[in-house]
């Protein structure tokens, strides 16, 4: 990753902005400004939840733009990082932002001393025309998703609508420039390390295939769902529901029955629950919450 080379100017990919903005409930300006970036960033994870149900259903994950738009916009579904941030990348590019695809190594909830995980999380570096600040945008990180962009090369604590974050220097000798951390009730918890170097869209194909097929990928053996609202964060890990307020304080945590899980997916997360999901949800409840 560099501090955004301005000589890279790919053609804007096609995306139905009217349909996308209707999906996220945005009717504001469409200029490439920081205010617009912030407004889109907070609405996206409210309207389009994080979820990996298609992996558990054996349907696989396509990151072809038409497939993403049909699923996340047309069908009212959610998705994981390659779908979510792939869609956001096309939207921001169409609006005139300069956008780079980046890659990160997830640290969230990793046990102390655990071996490093592969780089498997897509994030975006965004620049507003006329401003050299690089903004980290990420609408695809489950229960700890950002709800506002962060200045990637700032060392200051940065507020978002759902808590404070900071980005610190990491390990440049390992090809890592910045590490993102979330404030969890006064304790800084690392979420991921952003790697150096821009990724082309085609580069994500192999990482996506690994993510939805490899047995070491937790998406292949556990359900992960997340949604933010203006007042809360909701996360499901298998059948365990965790509800936190916008500052991260725990409001509720409990295990759900199959019927309760269906109801939460439909009424709280906002997904169009299908009858075909029932066998998978029964498995999820039987699995319980991963340790």
User: In sequence order, what are the beta bridge partners of 253?
Assistant: 242
> How far from the centroid of its chain's Cα atoms is residue 114's Cα?
23
C-beta of residue 164 within 8 angstroms of C-beta of residue 172: no
**Is position 81 annotated as part of the catalytic site?**
yes
Q: Is 27 exposed, middle or buried (0-12, 13-18, 19+ CB in 10 A)?
A: exposed
54, 69, 138, 144: which one is catalytic?
138
Query: Which one of the listed residues 44, 54, 69, 81 is annotated catalytic?
Result: 81
| 121 catalytically annotated | yes
Q: Kindly name the residue from 41, 44, 121, 162 that is annotated as catalytic.
A: 121
CA distances from 30 to 26, 65, 68, 73 (A): 10, 21, 22, 18
Distance in angstroms (rounded) separating the CA atoms of residues 237 and 243: 12
In 107-173, where do the E strands start and end? Answer: 119-127, 135-137, 150-151, 158-160, 163-169
169 is catalytic: no
8 A C-beta contact, residue 169 and residue 71: no
Separation CA 81–CA 84 (nearest Å) = 5
Tokens 């956008």, residue located: 99
β-bridge partners, 168: 179
CA–CA dist 246, 250 (Å, integer): 10
Residue 225 bridge partners (DSSP): 51, 236
CA distance 46 to 48: 6
Q: Which residues are the active-site residues?
A: 81, 121, 138
């Amino acid at each position: 990753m560099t501090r955004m080379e301005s000589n890279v100017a790919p053609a804007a990919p096609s995306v139905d902005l009217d349909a996308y903005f209707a999906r996220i409930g945005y009717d504001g300006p469409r200029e490439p400004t920081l205010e617009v970036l912030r407004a889109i960033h907070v609405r996206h994870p409210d309207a389009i939840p994080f979820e990996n149900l298609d992996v558990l259903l054996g349907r696989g994950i396509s990151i072809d733009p038409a497939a993403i738009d049909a699923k996340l916009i047309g069908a009212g579904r959610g998705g994981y990082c390659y779908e979510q941030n792939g869609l956001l990348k096309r939207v921001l590019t169409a609006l005139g932002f300069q956008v780079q695809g980046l890659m990160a190594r997830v640290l969230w909830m990793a046990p102390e001393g655990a071996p490093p995980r592969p780089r498997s999380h897509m994030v975006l570096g965004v620049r507003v025309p006329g401003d050299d600040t690089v903004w980290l945008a990420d609408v695809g990180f489950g229960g700890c998703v950002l709800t506002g962009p962060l200045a990637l090369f700032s060392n200051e604590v940065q507020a978002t609508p759902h808590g404070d974050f900071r980005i610190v220097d990491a390990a440049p000798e390992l090809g890592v420039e910045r590490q993102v951390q979330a404030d969890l009730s006064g304790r800084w918890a690392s979420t991921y390390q952003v790697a150096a170097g821009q990724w082309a869209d085609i580069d994500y194909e192999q990482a996506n295939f690994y993510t939805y097929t490899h047995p070491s990928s937790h998406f292949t053996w556990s359900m992960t769902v997340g949604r933010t609202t203006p007042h809360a964060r909701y996360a499901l890990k298998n059948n365990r529901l965790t509800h936190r307020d916008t500052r991260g304080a725990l409001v509720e945590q409990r295990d759900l029955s199959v019927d309760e899980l269906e109801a939460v997916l439909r009424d709280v997360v906002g997904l169009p629950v299908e009858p075909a999901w029932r066998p998978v949800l029964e498995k999820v409840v039987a699995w319980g919450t991963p340790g």
